[in-house]
Structure 1
Amino acid sequence: MRQVIVIIILALGFQTASAQLFSKEKIKNLENFDKQFLTWGYYLGFNSYDYKFDYNEITEEIVTESSAGFNVGLIGDMRINEYINLRLEPGIVFATRNLTFPDASLTTAAQMEREVTSTYIHIPLLVKFSTKRLNNWKPFVVAGASWSNNLSSNFDNPDDNSSGQFRQTSSVLNYELGIGFDLYLYYFKFSPSIRGVFAIEDELVRDADPNSPWTGNIDSMQTRGIFINFTFQ
C-alpha cells in the first residue's frame, strides 16, 4: 500500500511539473528573475578529462583512460540584454586520467602506466546566448575562454618519468562550448548543461632525455574535457 501511495504522489508531482513547464496555461515562476542586472549562484557537476596527443613520428598511440571527476564553483551573471548574458564561473575541478605508454623499451606496468591526478582552479569567462523564454524553461548556448591552474602539475619537480614522475604545465588556456536550458522553479532557477573544454596550448613538460620513451615522440599534449553541470541561482 505504501508503494502505491508513493507512485501516486510521484505521478501527481510529475503531472504538476509538466503542466507548469510546457502547458499553454501555467503559473509563470520567477517572472522578473531575468530582468536583474546581476545575479549569483553556484554549480555542482561531473567531468571526464582526457588528452589529445600529436606525435613527431607515426607510432602506436598513447592510451588515455578517463575517470569521472567532480566540479564545484560559483557563478556571477551580468545581463547584457534579453538574450545575452556575461558569466564568470570560478571553481575547482578534480580529474583523474590513466596513461599507458606503448614504447617497446617499457616492459613493466610501473614503467608503462602513469596515473595523472589533477586539481584545477578553473576560471571561465563565458557569453550565454538564450532564446525567448518558453513557459518555465529557456534553452541556451554558451561559448568563451577559460584559464586553469593545475595545482598537481609537478611542473617544478626535478624528477621526470625515469623516476616515475609525469609532469605538465601548471597554467592552461582553454576555449569552451556548451548547451543547456534554464528551468524556472518556484524558489530558484535550475540549469543543467553540458560543455566541452579544449586546451589551446601544449601542456607537456618533457623529460631531460630528448629520446625519452615517454615524451620524446610527443609534439604536443592538450587537455580535452566534458563537463556536466547543475546550476542553482
Structure 2
Amino acid sequence: MKKLLFVLIVCFTYQSQAQLFSKERVLNRENIDKKRWSWGYYLGFNNYGFNTRYKDINAEVLVTRNMGFNVGLVGNLRINDYIDLRLEPGVAFANRTLEFPGFNEEFEAIREVKSSYVHIPLLVKFSSKRINNFKPFLVGGASISHNLSSNEDNPDDNSAGEFRMKTNVVNLEVGFGIDFYLEYFKFSPSIRGIFGLTDELVRDNDPNSPWTSNIAQMKSRGIFINFTFQ
C-alpha cells in the first residue's frame, strides 16, 4: 500500500510539473503585458508599527500592531518586457496602540493611534521571464503618505490625551509578488515592506514631557499584503 501511494505521488508530481513548465500549455491573456498602458485596482491588508529610537532605551514604548485595510488603483507604464513603472494611489487605514511606561493609570499610559493615509507610491517593477501562466516580480520605490487623521496642528498634547502625528510622511517601499494570468484577468498577490524615512512624531509642548521627551525618532514601519486585478 505504501509503495502504491508513493508511486501515485511521484506520478502526480511529475504530471503537475510537466503541465507547469510545458511549452505547449495554453497561455491566458497572452498579450496583456504588451500594452503601453494598463490599469487595475488592488485590495489588501496592512500591519503598521513604529521604528522608534530612544534617548533612554530602558523606557521603551510598547507598540501593539493591529490589522488594517488598503484599497487603491494601479496605473502601469510598460518600459520593456522586464521593467514597468507603476503609480498606485490609494488609501490605507491603520491602527496602532501605544503603552507608555511610568504611568499607573490607563488613561495616561494608553494612546490609540488611528491613521487614514492617502498613500501614493511610485514604483519600479522588475519582472522575470513569463513561465506559462505565472511570472514572479520584484518591486521597489518611494511613496508619500498624507495622514487625513493627523492632529499635527492641535494645540492639545498628551497632557490632554492627544497623541499627535505629522500629516505628511515619505516612505521607502520594497517587495515581491507573482503575476498569475487567468482566463479573464491578471491576478497579482504581493507582499511589501513600508519604511518611513521621516520622523512622524509631534512632540508635546513641555520639553520634559513623560510621553515624548525620551523619543528621539518615531518612524512608521508597515507590511502591505495586496491583491491586484488587471
Question: Would you call these one fold, judging by a TM-score over 0.5?
Answer: yes
* Match among 106, 115, 119 for residue 118 of structure 1: 115
* Match among 15, 19, 22 for residue 20 of structure 2: 22
Contact in 2 for aligned 1:101/1:214 (Cα 8 Å): yes
Deviations 1:90-136 (A, max 9, x none): 0000000000001x2x2101100000000000000000000000000
* 2:167 pairs with 1:146: no
Give how far 1:59 is off. 2.0
Deviations 1:211-230 (A, max 9, x none): 10100110000000000000
Deviations 1:21-58 (A, max 9, x none): 72413110111110100000000000000001101223
Q: Secondary structure at the match of 1:132?
A: coil
1:221 and 1:81, CA in 2 relative to 1: closer, same or farther beyond 3 A? same
Contact in 1 for aligned 2:21/2:131 (Cα 8 Å): no
* Match among 167, 170, 173 for residue 173 of structure 1: 170
* 2:47 pairs with 1:73: no
Taking structure 1 as the reference length, what is the TM-score of the superposition?
Answer: 0.90
2:88 alignment partner in structure 1: 89
**Structure 2: gaps spanning 5 or more residues:** 1-15
Taking structure 2 as the reference length, what is the TM-score of the superposition?
Answer: 0.91
Cα RMSD of the aligned pairs, angstroms, is: 1.5
Give how far 1:153 is off. 1.4
Task: Among all aligned residue pairs of Structure 1 and Structure 2, give the percentage whose two residues are the same amino acid.
Answer: 60
2:10 alignment partner in structure 1: none
Report how many aligned residue pairs link the two structures: 215
2:42 alignment partner in structure 1: 43
What is the alpha-carbon distance in structure 2 between the residues aligned to residue 21 and residue 159 of structure 1? 64
Give how far 1:20 is off. 10
1:36 and 1:20, CA in 2 relative to 1: closer, same or farther beyond 3 A? farther
